[in-house]
Structure 1
Amino acid sequence: MNETDTPTVRTPSAEGEFPAIADPAKPKSAALSIAGDILAGAEAIAEFLFGDRRRRRKVYNLVESGQLPVFRLGVNICARKSVLLDWITRQERGEAAAPSMLSKSGDHTSPLR
């Protein structure tokens, strides 16, 4: 057994948590940025937009009217934080929604079924 074959010993941090082991096969920044960017469910989107999970009905109304840039994972409404922030910025500037958010069929802004 040489130096490269020795096992890595992980010790807990001061908070008692073990550090994550990085998988060299996965690009770390891409996986973390996508996972941390997704809001799953109307409650999470309402918390992000309005600071109150109970405002989920408002989220459903915005989705129904095609005003909110969302997509679906199965039956769940999801949104990317970065897209919502961009959408808010465009709303503040008085700009129209990007054409990609207003596609005609099978899009992520279609009304609830």
Structure 2
Amino acid sequence: MSDREVAPLDLVWGIEGIAKLIGRTERQAYHMLTTGALPAKQVGNRWVIEKSKLIKFFMDDAA
């Protein structure tokens, strides 16, 4: 990869995608998102999270 190339972000968009990734219901994921329990951001009306940050979040929590 050259200096000018940027690695694409592996983003997960929307409550449905986030819930599926973490193995929770959409309602549970929504609660975790709105209380700040997950390292995600709201962009407009949609939630977005970087998959690698989410994995790191759970791996650090388990250690």
Q: TM-score if structure 1 supplies the norm length?
A: 0.48
Alpha carbon RMSD of aligned pairs, Å? Answer: 1.7
Residue ranges of structure 1 left out of the alignment (5+ in a row): 1-25, 94-113
Q: Which has the larger radius of gyration?
A: 1
Q: Among residues 48, 51, 63, which one is paired with 1:81 in the alignment? A: 51
Residue ranges of structure 2 left out of the alignment (5+ in a row): none
Q: Percent identity among equivalent residues?
A: 25
Match of 2:20 in 1: 47
The structure with the greater share of residues assigned to helix is 2
Q: How many residues align?
A: 60
The structure with the greater share of residues assigned to strand is 2
Higher relative contact order structure (alpha carbons within 8 Å, sequence separation ≥ 6): 2
Q: Among residues 36, 39, 58, which one is paired with 1:69 in the alignment? A: 39
Counterpart CA distance in 1 for 2:43 and 2:36 is 17
Structure 1 ranges of 4+ moved more than 3 A: none
Counterpart CA distance in 2 for 1:63 and 1:78 is 10
Deviation at 1:41, TM superposition (A): 0.1
